[in-house]
Each structure stands twice: as structure tokens, then as C-alpha cells.
Structure 1
Amino acid sequence: MTQAARRGEIVAGALELERLGLNHGSAGNLSLRVGEAVLVTPSGVPARELRPEMIAVMPLADENGAFEGPFPPSSEWRFHLDVYRARSDVNAVVHMHSTYATTLATLRRPIPAVHYMIAAFGGPTVPCVGYASYGTPELSELVVGGLKDRDGALLANHGAIVVGADMRRALWRAVELEALAQVYYLGAMAGAPVVLPDDEIWRTVERFRSYGPRASSE
């Protein structure tokens, strides 16, 4: 797929997140790995105004925020690049400020296995990492740690992040994470949700290796 097509994927992804209510305005950000570079949504541009030519291109090896494009990349560019460096299996990153996931993040509460779909994130919990100011190396370090063995995490008093082998799988996880957060929140309001045992989730993780949206070429 050409870089132009990848840029289009990011724009479509940003619009889809807004349509689903998972982001609003210029909140959140998306990126794609393209060879030795990363395409990152620009800072401060609402999804409805985003155009493919506005996407910033950042060299993956650079540590100082170098970019090409008419607008600077999202202020969260650092954790996008650091996640790609730490996870060779990840080619798409989506950061969102969705309502239920962010609510749990303000409570600094990880999501337990109240539903088997948690297996989509690689284990029996979706962790909640600690707080650090946005765009900082400290936040990036927390994010990379939270995604070490998971494909999604909550960011304390901030929002959530999900990853995928491609944008389709990352967006799928964004939807599933918000759904899990909503179920857990409502269940906790009603009583004490029953948490599935770890061994059941690990079995489901194995079954989920071929589950979810497939690449468009498959």
C-alpha cells in the first residue's frame, strides 16, 4: 500500500473514532508505521478538518521530534514512536479519550476479565498505567510498560491506547476496549461483577490469535 493510501487510512480512522463517539474534536491521535518512518496525525486538527496531506511523517530512529509536513505531529508523538520501537509486531497505534475508558482511568482502575472479549488485549486484564503529563518521556515510558504484554491500556487521568498489526485491528480494539469499560463500569454500579478465571482467559487468548478483522488482502 502506498504512503498516500496509508494517509487515507489514518484520516478514515480518525473520522470513524469521532463517528463512534470514541474521540471528539482534536482529542486523541493515530499513527501508522511505514517502513522506517511513522505517519502521525497533526496537533490540534479536528478529525472533520483532517486531510491526508496534513499527516506528519516522522523518522522512527529520531529521538527529537523531527518531522516532515505542513503541521507538527501530535504532542503525543513520543509514545507512538516508542511503542513501535518496543513492539515489532505493532504497525498501528490509536489513542482515544472515550467516555467509559477515560472514566475508569480517572479512577485508576484496570479492567478485569468481566467478559471473555478481554482476551482481545492479550491477557486477563487491561492495565491502567500511572499518570504523567501528556507528551513527556515519563508518559511514554509508562505507556510502553503497559503495552509490554498487552494490546491495550488505560492511561491514568487521561484516556486509553490500543495497538494492532494494522489500522483495522487497532480500531477494532478501540471499539472493544470502550465496550469492556462500559460493561465493567455499569456492572460495578449494579453490584460486584463476576471475574472470569485467568486460565479461561489464557485459553481464549490462544483462540483469539485468528479472531477479529483480517487484513483487506486476506
Structure 2
Amino acid sequence: MAETEADLREAVVAACREMAEQGLNQGTSGNVSVRFGEGLLITPSGLPYGEMTPGDIVPMGMDGRSDHPLPPSSEWRFHRDILQARPDVRAVVHAHPTYCTAFAMCRKDIPAAHYMIAAAGGPTVRCGGYALFGTEELSLRALEALQDRTCCLLANHGMIATGPTLAKALWLAVELETLCRQYAVALQVGRPHILSEAEVAEAMERFKSYGPRPKAG
């Protein structure tokens, strides 16, 4: 059954609060969007998650216009552009979790040191180039880093995770932070062994049926 606008608004608020509970975000940083109709629904700018209600979620057209009383997230542009460029994506999660952001600050890609890299859709999680937040340039950098991928890092900024559902995008955001944390620890232990392209391809094949699933009705 198709989700209603009310359902999606509630899901966005729930996802924001789960991001805080999972330690993916602090304060008012980070933002969430979902595809709806001919546009999207996106979190408002500067509103703490604990105070956010479904009515605060901002509807926006693909032309970037909105008549909602609250302003959309300052990062609305890359949310809009990702949804516009990627018909396979229905939800976008952006956050500044500690380990993802640490690698983004070092401008490092994440290699295939664990088979969970398959969740990213390829043998690396790319780190896109730096651009000021909220700009068209940042949106272009994000789209480049997400080419043939489901998630990426943004230089000196944070991370983006996408999905065919909001649940999968949020799941991927948590998995990406976990992968970055594991890789950071492995680098302290020694030199992580990187999986081959064939090994990554094998894992990706298995991942076609991996990840969170809705309950059977």
C-alpha cells in the first residue's frame, strides 16, 4: 500500500530521532528527505529533533520552491538533486557521525577492508571534494561521489546515505558509520587487508537480498 503524506512525515521525524539515538548526529546537524509525489519532503532548518513534529516537515517541489512557513534544511539542494538524478533513490540521509566525519576531514576514501563495503554499491566509499555547505558546488561534488554508489563521504563535512526506502537509507547510514569505525580501529592494529574486486562482486551479489525488510503482512 502506498504511503500517505502523513505516513512519510511521521517516518521522517522518527528517522531524525533515531539518528540522534544512534549517535549519528548532534544538535541540529544533519537532515533527512523522502520523495513524495512530484517533489520531496525534507526536514526544516535549525529545528532540534526533539521539538520536531510531522507538521514541521517541509514539502518542496523539484524546482526548489516551497510555501511552508519553515525554511527547508540548508542542504535541500543536494537532497533535491540526488532525488532528481537517481530514480532508484527515494530517501536521503545526511549526518555528521564521528568516524565518517573523521575520514571526511582527512579526505580519504574507505576501501574494501570488510565485505560490508558491498552495501555502498562498489569497492569503495568515495569521499567527494570539498565545497561550502548548502551550495550548488557541494551538490555537484555529492553527485560525483555517489555515481554507481549508495553512500559517500563529503570532504571536511560528513556523510550521505541513500535508499529505496527511508528505513534502508537510515540502516545504511548506521552501517557506514560502523564500517568507518572498524576501519579506523583496524588501521591502529595494523595494515588492513583489502578484498579483491572479485570478492567484492561476490558480496554485492549476496547483498541484493540483504538489509532491512518490512514485516510480512
Alignment of 1:105-120 (within 5 A): 105-120=104-119
Q: 2:39 aligns with which of 8, 19, 37?
A: 37
SS at match of 2:34: strand
State whether residues 40 and 56 of structure 1, in contact with CA within 8 Å, keep that contact through their aligned partners in structure 2. Answer: yes
State whether residues 168 and 215 of structure 1, in contact with CA within 8 Å, keep that contact through their aligned partners in structure 2. Answer: no
Q: Which residue pairs with 1:18 in the alignment?
A: 20
Alpha carbons of 1:215 and 1:147: their partners in 2 closer, same or farther (altered >3 Å)?
farther
1:150-195 C-alpha deviation (Å, 9 max, x unpaired): 0000000000000000001001101100000001111112221111
Alpha carbons of 1:165 and 1:217: their partners in 2 closer, same or farther (altered >3 Å)?
farther
Alpha carbons of 1:182 and 1:90: their partners in 2 closer, same or farther (altered >3 Å)?
same
Q: Which amino acid aligns with 1:19?
A: E
Please give the alpha-carbon distance, in whole angstroms, between the structure 2 residues aligned to 1:45 and 1:56: 12
Alignment of 1:127-206 (within 5 A): 127-206=126-205
Give the share of equivalent positions with the same residue, in percent.
Answer: 51
SS at match of 1:88: coil
TM-score after normalising by structure 2: 0.97
How far 1:68 moved relative to its partner? 2.9
> For this pair of structures, how many residues does the alignment match?
215
Please give the alpha-carbon distance, in whole angstroms, between the structure 1 residues aligned to 2:214 and 2:141: 29
Please give the alpha-carbon distance, in whole angstroms, between the structure 1 residues aligned to 2:37 and 2:214: 18
1:63-107 C-alpha deviation (Å, 9 max, x unpaired): xx3113221100000000100111000000000000000000000
State whether residues 153 and 162 of structure 1, in contact with CA within 8 Å, keep that contact through their aligned partners in structure 2. Answer: yes
1:103-150 C-alpha deviation (Å, 9 max, x unpaired): 000000011111101101101110001000000000000101111100
TM-score after normalising by structure 1: 0.96
Please give the alpha-carbon distance, in whole angstroms, between the structure 2 residues aligned to 1:186 and 1:216: 35
Please give the alpha-carbon distance, in whole angstroms, between the structure 1 residues aligned to 2:67 and 2:212: 31
SS at match of 2:87: coil
Please give the alpha-carbon distance, in whole angstroms, between the structure 1 residues aligned to 2:28 and 2:15: 13
Q: Identify unmatched segments of 5+ residues in structure 1.
A: none
